[in-house]
Amino acid sequence: MPRYVDGVAFDRNDRVKVWKLEEKQTDVNIALAMYRDAASGAFSQLVVCSNDSDVEPVLRAIKADFPHIRLGVTTPRRPPEDGAVSHRNMMSSLSANAHWARNHIRDEELAACQLPDRIRTGKKPIDKPSHW
């Protein structure tokens, strides 16, 4: 993973080894949130940005239990440059359970979805780390 040093410009090539990884049940929490959101009836389309096959069961369940909700899947990567062929395709189990799928996100689309660099709160503002 990239090394973080406070006050030093971020360098993707300066990497460190991670010795201990912990499972935080992120996949389960995302799946549960997606299903509960679908059950709320508050929207007509759900879009997930993932290429992880662990998302497939919740997509299948939402498609079966809430057929009126359109499902979209996009993978979190840049489009190939200058017409190059992508060497990594979307998991077929994801696209098979979605109404539509995209294999990339353009930089300007990603930038438009980011929170501001500073978020004002009732107390101390929250600043996005410079290395993000």
Q: What pLDDT band is residue 103 in, cutting at 50, 70 and 90?
A: confident
| pLDDT-above-90 percentage for the chain | 41
- Top pLDDT among 105 and 33 is at 33
Mean pLDDT, range 82-97, rounded to an integer: 72
Mean pLDDT, range 49-70, rounded to an integer: 93
55 closest CA partner among 66, 63, 65, 43: 63
Q: Which of 16-20, 45-49, 96-100, 114-118 has the lowest mean pLDDT?
A: 16-20
At 2-25, the pLDDT tens digits run: 788 888 887 878 888 877 666 678
Residue 87 confidence (pLDDT):
54
SS (H, E, C) the chain: CECCCCCCCCCCCCECCCCCCCCCCHHHHHHHHHHHHHHHCCCCEEEEECCCHHHHHHHHHHHHHCCCCEEEEECCCCCCHHHCCCCCCCCHHHHCCCCEEECCCCHHHHHHCCCCCEECCCCCCEECCCCC
